[in-house]
Structure 1
């Protein structure tokens, strides 16, 4: 009889041949040190370099590592990280499911800071802009104040005063990040301090439910997931994590990503208005059998 998988770690990647192997080795050391059963899913998103070769190699060599690739029958225009995360969620078997960036900007060891909270919350997310754990509370005016404050701090000091990253981003990228968060607060009434940190942990039914309602498959999927979480009053908490900015290897395109953020906001608003996020529209993902239970 196989043991129950406690944790699934999903690593979405595209053209990460220079950094993927190092991240895989870090995850292997981390999971080997834990007393619980783990599953690691290396989720490709249309890579054209050696990333797929590297992922398949380790998936074949390490027992609890797996490789997934895009479903050729699933065709969308805005493919990206969101599609790879969805593919990983579909085959994830862990009681808890998380995803992290392939560049290991937040080390897998930071997961030790998130795991203590997951019994009491539906979503536990890493944050680069807080110093103490912060349960989510919907407050439009507080989010607006915090967003404006962060933008002005970036303009004056070059970064938000609450920024916890090692190796801080330049002023432009910080301004785009904090400006984007301000947009989410104003246009979507979202009070999350750090929407886009690529280090998030979910209860399995929650992960499957969110991906089952997913309509955005590029960089903007995070915005959509948070909108769905807010609609269904899911319990979430932000936890401070250490994050390292690899400016040299970054795939962030300030102009393209800003446009993508605006598109995501308006698509999410339209989907909310037209009922796309109704529970009846959720696709069934993978082999999850639980009924999705809302905690109010």
Structure 2
């Protein structure tokens, strides 16, 4: 079978309550839009029946795949694991809550078709597109975190954390091989790496609705993300990214880092 034009990666951890709806909406959108696409759900060591639900869907959808991490490693690890295994010419990831409707991916694809290497969804470029707003305290912490990210990391984007991003495959294969952050703070790192590599990044306003079931804690996870940003800056100042990039350029074939993968088969 020829490789697909598009790969959609969905990181999932204990998503049994909403993975059915997510798969119904994503696979339905693929059919309605006529996309030549595969869908990869990356199970991050779920303790519920997330994997079993995905396997049940796989019986009727041969281009749906389940990748299982070696235990709970974090969202950043899951996204990297999925995107490095994705076969599409365009690869993207979306959160399982689908706060940005899957149809909005067409806006990301348009940016890639117009010369971008990376297209990132944004909740803040056009706030009128927010259908369900976050509580005020989440808006406050989110904007504070984004201001710190812009200041510390030198990232000019209004929204680095939106879980709705697409990449041309060659860019993704390089960026995610250089990624070191495995949990919530991975988004600023991949954008930092992409800018260091001089990839063209476009920020695109997307329709977005807050899901009250969001698991992120702005206090606990926010502190961890600040630590991650300090680590990224430290890696950069120490020249670790530059050395890794030079090593990749010096090798004739770039080897995928030690990301453990298990692709489940339907019916198992």
Residue 80 of structure 1 is matched in structure 2 by 74
Matched, 1:259 2:258: no
1:273 pairs with one of 225, 237, 248: 237
Q: Which residue of 2 aligns with 1:108?
A: 102
2:116 to 105, 114, 121: 121
Structure-1 residue corresponding to 2:63: 64
- Residue of structure 1 in register with 2:256 after alignment: 285
Q: Describe the superposition over 1:218-244 as per-residue Cα deviations: whole angstroms up to 9, x where unpaired.
A: 001101101101111210111111111
Alignment check: 8 A CA contact 2:95 2:163 kept:
yes
Deviations 1:89-127 (A, max 9, x none): 121000000000001111111112221121210001111
Q: Is the 8 A contact 1:223 1:264 kept in 2?
A: no
Q: How does 1:68-217 map to 2 (within 5 A)?
A: 68-71=67-70, 79-119=73-113, 120-131=115-126, 162=127, 164-217=129-182
* Alignment gaps of 5+ in structure 2: 249-253, 258-268
Deviation digits for residues 131-185 of structure 1, max 9, x if unmatched? Answer: 3xxxxxxxxxxxxxxxxxxxxxxxxxxxxxx463211111111111100111012
Change (3 A) 1:4 1:79: closer
The size of the alignment, in residue pairs, is 249
Give me the CA root mean square deviation: 1.7
1:284: how far off?
2.6
Partner Cα separation in structure 2 for residue 217 and residue 232 of structure 1: 20
Instruction: Name the CA distance, whole Å, in 1 between partners of 2:112 and 2:228.
Output: 28
Q: Matched residues in 2 for 1:232 and 1:113: separation?
A: 23
SS of aligned partner of 1:280: helix
In the aligned structure 2, how far is the partner of 1:228 from the partner of 1:235?
A: 12
Q: Is the 8 A contact 1:223 1:265 kept in 2?
A: yes
Tell me the alpha carbon deviations over residues 189-221 of structure 1, each in whole angstroms, 9 at most, x when there is no partner. Answer: 111110000000000011111110111100011
Structure 1: which 4+ aligned runs deviate by more than 3 Å?
A: 280-283
Q: CA shift at 1:36, angstroms?
A: 3.9
CA distance in 2 between partners of 1:55 and 1:87 (Å)? 17
CA distance in 2 between counterparts of 1:30 and 1:36 reads 8
Structure 1: any 5+ residue segments left out of the alignment? 73-77, 132-161, 287-296
TM-score, normalised to structure 2, is 0.88
TM-score (norm 1): 0.80
* CA deviation after TM superposition for structure 1 residue 285, in Å: 2.9
